[in-house]
């Protein structure tokens, strides 16, 4: 067992929620992953343009599948999957960088209201930083840490090895990297970002 796969205490969750709100980020606690999934779809308007980012959490909860297969949403990922990477790479990057709605997860949330996202390619970071009009993050409370220093340790000591292991099973011999790192200290656009903290271990 690791300190990074233990659900946060109620005190820690409450601190994080209060601090996130103070930093301009909507935040709420929901007990279960299934309830969190329902919450996501209560927020997403039907017919909206939605990009589900690469996320173990989002995939595990079936959110990606619902967006891509239900027919209720304009799935950016479906559009990207129909395009040619060799001839349309710039157009594909633009589509992924500025969707109306972006849904994913993060790697650490601090008790003082900061959010950390690590990436190998950086493809999801433009949308999270400012490109997407709306962002929803579903986050297991095991990802709550004291501060950004602990968040960095969580990413390098815990998340990176697990992501490398996951990637290696798909592409033998390939390892992941923390090539790009986004830290959101404050959101100046009220209600652009919503963090749903979940009382279940989701993702890593």
pLDDT digits (tens, 9 = 90+) for 167-195: 888 888 888 999 999 999 999 998 899 99
> Residue 151: is it exposed, middle or buried by C-beta count within 10 angstroms (0-12/13-18/19+)?
buried
Q: What pLDDT is recorded for position 1?
A: 52
CA–CA gap between residue 31 and residue 12 (Å, rounded): 15
Query: What are the boundaries of each domain within the chain?
Result: 3-198
Q: What pLDDT is recorded for position 171?
A: 83
> Residue 58: is it exposed, middle or buried by C-beta count within 10 angstroms (0-12/13-18/19+)?
buried
Q: What pLDDT is recorded for position 167?
A: 83
Contact between residue 196 and residue 40 where contact means Cβ atoms under 8 Å apart: yes
Q: What pLDDT is recorded for position 180?
A: 96
Between 57-61, 119-123, 140-144, 149-153, the lowest mean confidence (pLDDT) is in 119-123
CA–CA gap between residue 111 and residue 184 (Å, rounded): 13
Residues 134-143: pLDDT tens digits?
999 999 999 9
pTM of the model: 0.95
Residues 73-117: pLDDT tens digits?
999 999 998 988 889 988 888 988 999 999 999 999 999 999 999
Percentage with pLDDT > 90 across the chain: 84
Mean pLDDT, all residues of the chain: 95
Q: What pLDDT is recorded for position 3?
A: 87
- CATH fold label, 3-198: Rossmann fold (3.40.50)
């Amino acid at each position: 067992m690791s300190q990074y796969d233990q659900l946060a205490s109620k005190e820690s969750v409450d601190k994080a929620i209060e601090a996130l709100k103070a930093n301009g980020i909507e935040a709420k606690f929901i007990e279960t992953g299934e309830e969190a999934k329902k919450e996501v779809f209560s927020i997403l308007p039907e017919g909206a343009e939605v990009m589900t980012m690469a996320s173990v959490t989002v995939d595990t909860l079936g959110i990606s599948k619902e967006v891509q297969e239900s027919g209720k949403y304009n799935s950016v990922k479906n559009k990207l999957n129909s395009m040619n990477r060799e001839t349309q790479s710039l157009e594909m990057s633009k589509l992924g960088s500025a969707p109306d709605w972006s849904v994913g997860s993060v790697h650490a949330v601090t008790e003082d209201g900061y959010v950390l996202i690590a990436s190998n390619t950086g493809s999801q970071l433009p949308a999270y930083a400012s490109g997407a009009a709306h962002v929803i993050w579903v986050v297991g409370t095991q990802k709550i840490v004291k501060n950004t220093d602990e968040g960095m340790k969580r990413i390098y000591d815990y998340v990176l090895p697990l992501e490398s292991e996951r990637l290696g099973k798909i592409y033998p011999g390939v390892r992941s990297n923390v090539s790009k790192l986004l830290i959101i200290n404050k959101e100046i656009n009220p209600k652009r970002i919503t963090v749903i903290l979940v009382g279940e271990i989701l993702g890593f």
